[in-house]
Amino acid sequence: MKPESREAILTLALFAAYADGIKDDREREQIRQLSRALSDTGGGPDLARIYQDVLLQRTTVEAAAATLQDPGERQLAYEMAVGVCEVDGRPTEAEQAFLAKLRTLLQLPEPLARQIEGEANSVVELSESVIPASPAVPPVLHQTPPLSETDLDRTILRYAVLAGALELLPQSWAFMAILPVQLKLVYEVGRAYGYSLDRGHIREFLATVGVGLTSQYLERLGRKLVAGLLGKVAGKAGATVGAVATGVGFSFATTYALGQLAKRYYGGGRRMSAATLRETFEGLLQQARPLQDRHIPTMQQEARTLDVPRLMSLLRGA
């Protein structure tokens, strides 16, 4: 993929991120930090400059879309934009209007656009179905969890492997599907300690520690574009061992650290401050990264048979 095409896709993804006009300050700051971090890696698009161009309106959706002449690149750009708009829930009216405009600019065939949107919607439905919208019952706290600490650690590892396997897949829905995995993991850990959690609480928990939904999606997109993996991935298993080992596949570590943080937080009676949560998460993330390399073969094996129906079955049956 040409450098200008990668820049155009990232530009459209950033426009999609701000299409709803209501991203909170934490999410904006995470996206800003992400753009700087990815630009510092070298060898890829200057995301910090692209971010400023979008924020200061020095470029337009029309200009970015016009850069993409290859049908495959246009499809990829729309897949990424749909993912950004839907990763934090069903698109708002403003996001729907943005996507409708983008479909026209990219000259996507209607059946293809609807297929892309349908795949994204199935992941949104999964996210909504695995966690209740509001607590079903008041929390009944356990002094000790019904699962042993060893069993909880196995559960956390299982979810982390599943998240890592999703990142190996080339399908656009796989980026989005990591979020339901993380939501369900925090839900299960909280439930083990007697807390009846809902989607709003868990999303707030993730946002507090700096794991924003949109910024996570953009980070995965940015890293894969920088590494030249998108648009070239062959085979269902996706990325190679080398690609994962060099930092493209980071969802394992993020998910593992979230699970361990949830264990400390809910096991300790939710007494950690926001600052302590963030600091503890960063430490756990550093500890989790070396574990990732050890479990790459397991992630690759999981990825070979992973699709939306199987993911739904795994999460609903967990």
Q: Tell whether 187 and 265 lie within a shared domain.
A: yes
Q: What CATH number is given to the structural domain containing 32?
A: 1.10.3680.10
Helix ranges (H only) for 131-212 are 149-168, 172-192, 199-208
- Domain membership of residue 146 (yes or no) is yes
CA dihedral 302, 306, 310, 312 (to 10 degrees): 100
Q: Tell whether 177 and 287 lie within a shared domain.
A: yes
What pLDDT, in 10s, does the model give residues 251-277? 899 999 999 999 999 999 899 999 999
Total residue length of the chain: 318
Q: Tell whether 106 and 208 lie within a shared domain.
A: no
What pLDDT, in 10s, does the model give residues 207-237? 888 776 676 667 666 666 665 544 443 333 3
- Domain membership of residue 100 (yes or no) is yes
Boundaries of domain holding 147? 136-316
What pLDDT, in 10s, does the model give residues 163-211? 999 888 877 677 778 888 998 999 999 989 988 888 888 888 988 887 7
- Domain membership of residue 160 (yes or no) is yes
Quick check: 51 pLDDT over 60? yes
Residue after which a domain boundary falls, among 90, 119, 148: 119
- Domain membership of residue 124 (yes or no) is no
Q: Tell whether 39 and 86 lie within a shared domain.
A: yes
Q: Tell whether 105 and 78 lie within a shared domain.
A: yes
Q: Tell whether 151 and 41 lie within a shared domain.
A: no
- Phi-psi region for residue 276, left (φ > 0), alpha (ψ -120 to 50) or beta? alpha
Residue after which a domain boundary falls, among 65, 85, 119: 119
Q: Tell whether 113 and 159 lie within a shared domain.
A: no
Quick check: 242 pLDDT over 50? no
- Domain membership of residue 129 (yes or no) is no
- Domain membership of residue 258 (yes or no) is yes
Quick check: 116 pLDDT over 60? yes
State both tokens at 7: 């820049």
Q: Tell whether 255 and 159 lie within a shared domain.
A: yes
The pTM of this model reads 0.77
What is the DSSP code (8-state) at residue 182? H
Q: Higher model confidence: residue 194 or residue 308?
A: 194
What pLDDT, in 10s, does the model give residues 277-292? 999 999 999 999 888 8
Q: CA-CA distance, 228 to 290, in Å (whole number)?
A: 24
Distances 4 to 1, 10, 16, 70, 277 between C-alpha atoms, Å: 8, 10, 18, 12, 39
- Domain membership of residue 130 (yes or no) is no
Q: What is the pLDDT of residue 149?
A: 83
Q: Tell whether 158 and 51 lie within a shared domain.
A: no
Q: Tell whether 176 and 246 lie within a shared domain.
A: yes
Q: Tell whether 80 and 190 lie within a shared domain.
A: no
Q: What is the pLDDT of residue 282?
A: 93
- Domain membership of residue 128 (yes or no) is no
Contacts of 214 (CB under 8 A, 6+ apart): 17, 23, 27, 31, 84, 87, 88
Q: Tell whether 112 and 154 lie within a shared domain.
A: no
Residue after which a domain boundary falls, among 87, 119, 151: 119
**Cβ count within 10 A of residue 287:** 12
Give the count of domains, the chain.
2
Mean pLDDT across the chain: 79
Amino acid at 38: L
